[in-house]
Amino acid sequence: MRPARLMQGNQACAEGMIAAGVRFFAGYPITPSTEVAEILAEELPKIGGKFIQMEDEIASMGAVLGASLTGVKAITATSGPGFSLKQELIGYGCMAEIPCVIVNVQRMGPSTGLPTSPAQGDVMQARWGTHGDHGIIVLSPGSVKETFEVAVACVNFAEKYRTPVILLLDEVIGHMRERVELPEARDIHIENRKVPACAPEEYQAFKPDADGVPPMAPFGEGYYYHVTGLVHTYGGMPAGPGPITDEIVHRLESKITRAQKDITLYTEDGIEGAEVLVITYGGSSRAAGAAVKEARKKGAKVGLLKLVTLWPFPCELILEKTKHAKTIIVPELNMGQLVGEIERYTGRDRVVSVTRVDGELFEPEEIVEPILAAGGKK
């Protein structure tokens, strides 16, 4: 491990991206994500990378996709309004299977909302923000060190599964500072995209291997292929309705869902024997963890499941971890977004939604109260 440092969440995000091999950033400043851009503007040129501030969020997303097509690991960072503007080109990235990472440091909304206040209101937008059926990977860290680790994971998943990946931070994690010890570079696992083993004249850019992921040739190395947002053949040429369309829509989803176990990241605490289970993620996990400790002092038999992977939704994990719990409590800094998925798989009668939408963080007592009310006592 490297020497301990006092580090901000957005800083950990930027350094994690660099550690994973990112060498291109395009973006537009927006609170509360701007530190990610500021740090990469300074650090990328030192290691042969490129930083470019584009004229808006749409252009920055286009630049990221273009850079990725040349073989470079590329990212952008934004917040709510900018994330909305990026959605059309996120959809293009899904259809054209272009690896990249979009960092969304959430803030209170809708519209410009409260730019410096925490929220978790973009959970469903991260899954369904772009139009059409598509698979997506979304990770949400709950600490500064975890932000570094999740940044690396996001880049690895983008490269491994040839897809856009969303890192869903929230303002409190992005701006908080914690003491962290980061791993040495040699101890960080790095994934790189598959490249074709065939001759250029035999290459079909969208013909999948057995894992559903096509090898990807960088532009400029002799492999000619057409890239389009239209439904397309294995060779990249536009196709009409019928079997080709059916195959690509199903594959864009299945190449991710079939890798659910690889993609699902989480931590747990005291689940075995718990009668009440708190399921949490992101910034809410801070108060949730404190609440579980306090409730245990008061005699509650309560466990904690902290999700890092939000999408694809880890339904098998949820079913396994909740099977013995009488009550499931889901705290979120929104009106209740992920709770609907949890209810869908565990039953509405077992789930208690705890929400806060005033731009303030949860106090642990707000979560302790429903734990004790659920009867999770020894």
CATH code assigned at 303: 3.40.50.920
Q: How far apart are CA 290 and CA 283, in angstroms?
A: 12
Q: Does residue 130 sit within a domain?
A: yes
Reference 90, options 64, 51, 56; nearest CA is 64
Q: Could you tell me if 279 and 247 lie in one domain? A: no
User: Is residue 103 within 8 Å of 76, Cβ to Cβ?
Assistant: yes
Q: Does residue 128 sit within a domain?
A: yes
Beta strands in 108-237 (DSSP E): 137-139, 164-170, 177-180
- Structural domain including 173 reads 1-263
State the DSSP code for 196: -
Among the candidates 234, 263, 292, a domain finishes at 263
Q: Does residue 205 sit within a domain?
A: yes
Q: Could you tell me if 137 and 238 lie in one domain? A: yes
pLDDT in tens, 122-178: 999 999 999 999 999 999 999 999 999 999 999 999 999 999 999 999 999 999 999
Both tokens of 238, joined, read 């536009």
Domain count, the chain: 2
Strands 177-180 and 74-78: unpaired
Both tokens of 330, joined, read 């889901």
| 365 contacts: CB under 8 Å, gap ≥ 6 | 291, 294
Among the candidates 263, 288, 315, a domain finishes at 263
Q: Which residues pair with 140 in a beta bridge?
A: none
Q: Could you tell me if 243 and 289 lie in one domain? A: no
pLDDT in tens, 17-76: 999 999 999 999 999 999 999 999 999 999 999 999 999 999 999 999 999 999 999 999
Q: Could you tell me if 240 and 188 lie in one domain? A: yes
Q: Could you tell me if 14 and 28 lie in one domain? A: yes
Q: Could you tell me if 72 and 39 lie in one domain? A: yes
Q: Could you tell me if 154 and 298 lie in one domain? A: no
pLDDT in tens, 78-117: 999 999 999 999 999 999 999 999 999 999 999 999 999 9
Among the candidates 200, 228, 263, a domain finishes at 263
Q: Could you tell me if 3 and 113 lie in one domain? A: yes
pLDDT confidence of 377, banded at 50, 70, 90? Answer: low
Give the CATH number for residue 149: 3.40.50.970
Cα angle at 34 between 32 and 37, to 5 degrees?
145
Q: Does residue 378 sit within a domain?
A: no
Q: How far apart are CA 257 and CA 264, in angstroms?
A: 10
Q: What's CA 20's distance to the chain center, in Å?
A: 15
Q: Which residues pair with 114 in a beta bridge?
A: 108
pTM passes above 0.85: yes
Reference 368, options 350, 347, 352; nearest CA is 352
